[in-house]
Amino acid sequence: MAKSLRGQPSRNKILELATEEANDADIPTALGALDKAPRGNLSKIIESGDPSQPAFDGIIEKATRAESLSSEEFQYSPEDEEPNIVWWDSPEDPQNPMKWPFKKRWGTVILVSVLTFLTPLASSIFAPGVPEVMKTFHSTNDMLEGFMVSVYVLGFAFGPLIIAPLSEMYGRLPLYHICNMCFVIWTIAAATASNMSMFIVFRFLMGCFGGAPLVLGGGTIADLISCEQRGTAMVVWMMGPTIGPCVGPIIGGFLTQAKGWRWNFWFVAIIAGSCAVASFLLMSETSAQVILERKARRLREETGNIKLKSRLDSGLSPRDLFMFSIIRPTKMLTRSSICFAISLYCAITYSYLYIMFTTFTAVFQAQYHWHGGVAGLSFLGLGIGSLMGQIVFTKWGNKTAAKHLESGDFKPEHRLYIMAIGGFFLPVGLFWYGWSVQVQTHYMVPITGSGVMGFGLLMTFMPANTYLVDVFTIHAASAMAANTVLRSLCAALIPLSSKKMYAAMGYGWGNSLLGFVALLLVPIPFLFIKFGERIRARDTVKL
C-alpha cells in the first residue's frame, strides 16, 4: 500500500486518532472513513491490517497528527515495514526533530522567540519619534502620521501569504535565513530614507519580511515540542508580538531624544543582523516533511530505487504544491469557523493595541504635558500588564493542560478556559483608561488601566494562538498565517480612524465604544468550550 504505515498502532489508537483528526482542516475524511465502513467489519479491517480493504487507507493515513509524525505513537516492527516508504529509522531516530537534544530543541525555540520579539518591537519603537519624522519630511498629514506606524503591520498581512506555503515546500530554515537578511536590508533603507514615500515603502517591506517568525514560529514549535510542553514554548514565543510592541516605544522615546529618530532603525538593524548570524550558525531544519523528503532523495541516489518516497510525500509537483498551499491560509480563514472566529478575536484585540501605539504619545502630551523620552513611559502600563498576563497564562494554562493530559482526556478546547476569563479584562481596561484620561485624573490611573488592557490582551491572545496550533497541528504555519493576515490588516487600518474617533467622541466614549465591541467578543471562547469538539467534527475544510 503506497500510503501504509511502516508499523501499525493499536486498534484503540487508530480509532482515537482517526476520530480526533476530524479537527484538522486537512483531515476532512477521517470521520467519513469510520462512518462509511460497515460497523461489523470495521474491527476486522483494523485488526487484520489488510490494505486491500477500502476503509483501511483512509483510517490509517488520517491517523497521523503533527505529534504522531515525530513521536512514539507507532510501534515499529520490521515485518510490517513497507520497503519503498521512507520514515524515521526508529522511535529514537536523531534526525527526528522531536528527538533532538533538549538544548538544541529549546535553543531553537528561544532563538525563534528572539526574532519574534524583535520584529514586532520594530513596529512601534519609533512611535514616540513620529513628530520628529513628520518634521524631517515636512508633512502635516494626520493620516500619514498614523499610517507610518501601522504600514509595518500591513506588511505582516501580505508576507505570510507567500512565506507560509514556501515554508511547507522548501522547509522553514531557508525562509528564516532569507527573511532575516531582507529585514536587515530594508531596516537600513528606512534609516536612510530621504522622503516620506521612500520611508513608507521601506517600512512596508520591513513588515513583509519581518513577519516570517510570526508565521513560522508556531510550526517550528509544533515540529520540536510535544503537546505536554507546548504551552510553555508558546508563552516564550508569543512574548514577541505581545510584549515587544510595548517595550519598543519605551526604548524609542529615549533613543529619539538622544540620537534622533533614525537611530531607532539603526538599533533594530544591529540587533537583527546579530540574530541573523546566530540563526545561520545555530539553527537547523525542523520540518519533518522536508527532512524525510531529503532523506528519500538521498536514498534514491544511493540505491537507484526510484520508487522510494517519503511517507509524507504529497505527490504534487512543486508548482502544484505552491498553488495548492498558497490558498490554504485564505481557505482556512474563510471556510473554517474556528479559524475565522479565533482570528477575528485576535484581530480586533490586536488592532486595539495599535490604536494605543498611534495615540498614546499624543494623549499624554496633550492631557499630561509629557514630552521627549518621558512620553515613551506612557507605554509602561501595557508592558507590565502584558508581562503579568504571560506569567498567569504560563502557570494556569499549562496546569490546566497538564491535568487533562495526565487524565487522558485532553482536547484543544481546554486551552480556552483561561481565555474565557481573560476576555473580561480587555473591556474593563478600555473603560478604565478612557474615562480616567477624559477627566484628567493622576497619570498613574490611566497607565494602570492600560496595564489591565495589556493583561486582558495576553489572556486572550496567547490561548487563542495555542488553540489554533493544537487544532491544525501539521498545518500550524498556515493557520498562523491566516491569523496573522487578518489581525495585521485590522491593526494597520483600524487605527487610522482613531484620532478622528477621539476628536468626535472624546477619550471616554471613544474607548467605551472599543470596550463594548470587546464585550461582544467575550462569548466566543465559551461557545467553543461547549461546542468546539462538535464544530470541529462538522466544520471540515478540504485543503
Specify whether 367 is located in the same domain as 220. Answer: yes
Residue 2's pLDDT is what? 36
Residue 29's pLDDT is what? 25
Q: How far apart are CA 58 and CA 130, in angstroms?
A: 57
Mean pLDDT score of the chain: 78
Residue 363's pLDDT is what? 87
Specify whether 155 is located in the same domain as 193. Answer: yes
Mean pLDDT of 140-168: 81
Residue 78 lies inside a defined structural domain of this protein:
no
Specify whether 222 is located in the same domain as 303. Answer: no
- Higher-pLDDT residue of 24, 375: 375
Specify whether 281 is located in the same domain as 152. Answer: yes
403-419: pLDDT as tens digits: 887 887 888 888 888 89
Residue 543's pLDDT is what? 58
Whether residue 21 is predicted with pLDDT greater than 50 in this model: the reply is no
Residue 53's pLDDT is what? 36
Residue 529 lies inside a defined structural domain of this protein:
yes
The answer to whether residues 86 and 311 touch, using CB atoms and an 8 Å cutoff, is yes
Specify whether 221 is located in the same domain as 108. Answer: yes
Percent of the chain with pLDDT over 90: 28
The answer to whether residues 21 and 65 touch, using CB atoms and an 8 Å cutoff, is yes
Whether residue 276 is predicted with pLDDT greater than 90 in this model: the reply is yes
Residue 105 lies inside a defined structural domain of this protein:
yes
The answer to whether residues 345 and 420 touch, using CB atoms and an 8 Å cutoff, is no
- Domain finish residue from 322, 344, 368: 322
Residue 81's pLDDT is what? 56
HSE value, Cβ hemisphere, 13 Å, CA-based, for 401 = 23
- Domain finish residue from 322, 348, 378: 322
HSE value, Cβ hemisphere, 13 Å, CA-based, for 440 = 6
157-178: pLDDT as tens digits: 788 778 877 887 788 999 999 9
Specify whether 305 is located in the same domain as 269. Answer: no
pLDDT band per the 50, 70, 90 thresholds, residue 5: very low
What are the angstrom distances between the C-alpha of 494 and each of 377, 386, 424? 24, 21, 22
Residue type, 120: P
Tell me the three cell numbers of residue 439.
477627566
Residue 170 lies inside a defined structural domain of this protein:
yes
Residue 76 lies inside a defined structural domain of this protein:
no
Specify whether 441 is located in the same domain as 374. Answer: yes
pLDDT band per the 50, 70, 90 thresholds, residue 449: very high
Q: How far apart are CA 186 and CA 122, in angstroms?
A: 12
Specify whether 337 is located in the same domain as 437. Answer: yes
Specify whether 309 is located in the same domain as 362. Answer: no
pLDDT band per the 50, 70, 90 thresholds, residue 142: confident
- Higher-pLDDT residue of 139, 110: 110
pLDDT band per the 50, 70, 90 thresholds, residue 373: confident
Q: How far apart are CA 529 and CA 249, in angstroms?
A: 37
- CA 425, 427, 432, 433 torsion: positive or negative? positive
Tell me the three cell numbers of residue 282.
545555530
Specify whether 377 is located in the same domain as 265. Answer: yes
Residue type, 418: I
Strand-pairing partners, residue 310, are 86
Residue type, 46: I
Residue 80 lies inside a defined structural domain of this protein:
no
Whether residue 58 is predicted with pLDDT greater than 90 in this model: the reply is no
The answer to whether residues 522 and 385 touch, using CB atoms and an 8 Å cutoff, is no
- Domain finish residue from 297, 322, 347: 322
Residue 542's pLDDT is what? 62
- Higher-pLDDT residue of 430, 229: 430
What are the angstrom distances between the C-alpha of 51 and each of 33, 43, 63, 95, 508? 14, 14, 15, 28, 67
Range of the domain at 302: 288-322
- At 205, which CATH number? 1.20.1250.20
Specify whether 277 is located in the same domain as 349. Answer: yes
Residue 324's pLDDT is what? 67
Tell me the three cell numbers of residue 63.
491517523
Residue 309, SS3 per DSSP: strand
Query: Look-up: residue for cell 526508529?
Result: 90
User: Which of 35, 16, 109 lies closest to 410 in space, CA to CA?
Assistant: 16
Tell me the three cell numbers of residue 464.
487563542
Mean pLDDT of 124-140: 85
Residue type, 101: P
Total number of domains in the chain: 3
H helices within 192-311, ranges in order? 196-210, 212-224, 227-259, 262-282, 288-303
176-199: pLDDT as tens digits: 999 999 999 999 999 999 999 999
Residue 241 lies inside a defined structural domain of this protein:
yes
Specify whether 292 is located in the same domain as 278. Answer: no
Residue 77 lies inside a defined structural domain of this protein:
no
